[in-house]
Copies of this chain bind each other. A is one copy, B any other.
């Protein structure tokens, strides 16, 4: 019911002390890193996300080249941690999303510029024979292809036999302030669109047969969320004015579970809200910066300093 792709936001909305959800925040390599672990089916249901580990890295400063470099290095370092213990000898990077829509283009833009070596290992064995085997694909979106992302990726994976899949995608956050400023990594894979439980859609170890790490950055917020925030703020303002504790509507609005209120708004906006998104006006600049962080982080995690990365 909660419209956020970020585990850290889902957890915040439920407050502390949910059983089956463990969270900690620490400084790692200069960045603030929050790890949310969903350890029980109950926690998974409460947060609306599969059991697993969700790591959130704050991007301190995406506007300067040095800030982006630091963010890319944090991404690389967290990615390497998440790859530990997994066979990462053959990696398929999947760029999700629609590259004709500015905020949705970052996954494709990053995946297209990952330095791929799979073909080079054969073509130039002396130079690349010992390189990690990396390939990439941008499967496109259902509306333009008629094919579920999971079907395309599984079909390709059965041919090229990766040992690990890394899916890169634009996410939706609850908060506008997280757009372009947070990286999420998870070992649970990804379910493009709203396709929970749709196995043709899901990219996960269960559907792919190999581990799937998902990397994403919020680029849009949900319209109903923005409306809900507006209402919260509006109520706050009105309460100050109308100090009437017996007021019924106010009590109703306040007394509601946050999720219930969101559900009501979501229903009110339906069917429009399902078909719209909210994004910042400078989304073109944000998308450029985010793609750069993603591709450099991926290249660093996958190849280190072993090769001069082509671009």
Which chain A residues have a beta carbon within 8 Å of chain B's beta carbons? 61, 63-67, 98, 100-102, 112, 116-120, 133-140, 142-148, 151-152, 154-160, 176-177, 221, 223-224, 226-231, 233-238, 241-242, 244, 247-250, 252-253, 264-265, 267-269, 272, 275-285, 288-289, 292, 308-311
A120 to B146, CA, bound (A): 8
> Could you tell me if B159 and A151 are in contact, using CB atoms closer than 8 angstroms?
yes
A282 to B193, CA, bound (A): 13
> Could you tell me if A277 and B281 are in contact, using CB atoms closer than 8 angstroms?
yes
B-side contacts of A242, CB under 8 Å: 248-249, 252
A248 to B136, CA, bound (A): 55
> Could you tell me if A276 and B146 are in contact, using CB atoms closer than 8 angstroms?
no
B-side contacts of A159, CB under 8 Å: 147, 151-152, 154-155
Q: Which residue of B lies closest to A251 (CB)?
A: B249
Q: Which residue of B lies closest to A65 (CB)?
A: B309
> Could you tell me if A285 and B310 are in contact, using CB atoms closer than 8 angstroms?
yes
Ranked nearest first, the 7 interchain pairs of A and B with the lowest CB-CB distance are A116-B146, A118-B146, A227-B230, A155-B155, A233-B268, A135-B146, A64-B308
Q: Which residue of B lies closest to A236 (CB)?
A: B268
Q: List 19 A-B contacts (CB under 8 A).
A: A65-B308, A101-B283, A112-B144, A116-B145, A118-B146, A118-B147, A119-B143, A119-B147, A120-B146, A137-B152, A158-B158, A223-B278, A233-B268, A242-B248, A247-B247, A248-B250, A249-B250, A275-B281, A277-B279
Interface centre among A63, A116, A311 (most CB of B within 10 A): A311
Interface centre among A64, A135, A155 (most CB of B within 10 A): A155
B-side contacts of A61, CB under 8 Å: 308
> Could you tell me if B231 and A230 are in contact, using CB atoms closer than 8 angstroms?
yes
> Could you tell me if A233 and B176 are in contact, using CB atoms closer than 8 angstroms?
no
Q: A61-B308, A277-B279 are in contact. List 17 more A-B contacts (CB 8 A).
A: A98-B284, A100-B102, A112-B144, A133-B146, A135-B147, A136-B145, A137-B152, A151-B159, A155-B158, A223-B223, A223-B278, A236-B268, A238-B249, A242-B248, A248-B249, A277-B278, A289-B311
B-side contacts of A272, CB under 8 Å: 176-177
B-side contacts of A237, CB under 8 Å: 264, 267-268
A302 to B250, CA, bound (A): 56
Given contacts A101-B284, A279-B276, contact A160 B147 (CB under 8 A): yes
> Could you tell me if B135 and A116 are in contact, using CB atoms closer than 8 angstroms?
no
A284 to B285, CA, bound (A): 18
B-side contacts of A235, CB under 8 Å: 249
B-side contacts of A144, CB under 8 Å: 112, 116, 136
Given contacts A289-B311, A308-B64, contact A231 B229 (CB under 8 A): no
Least CB distance, A109 to chain B, in whole angstroms: 11
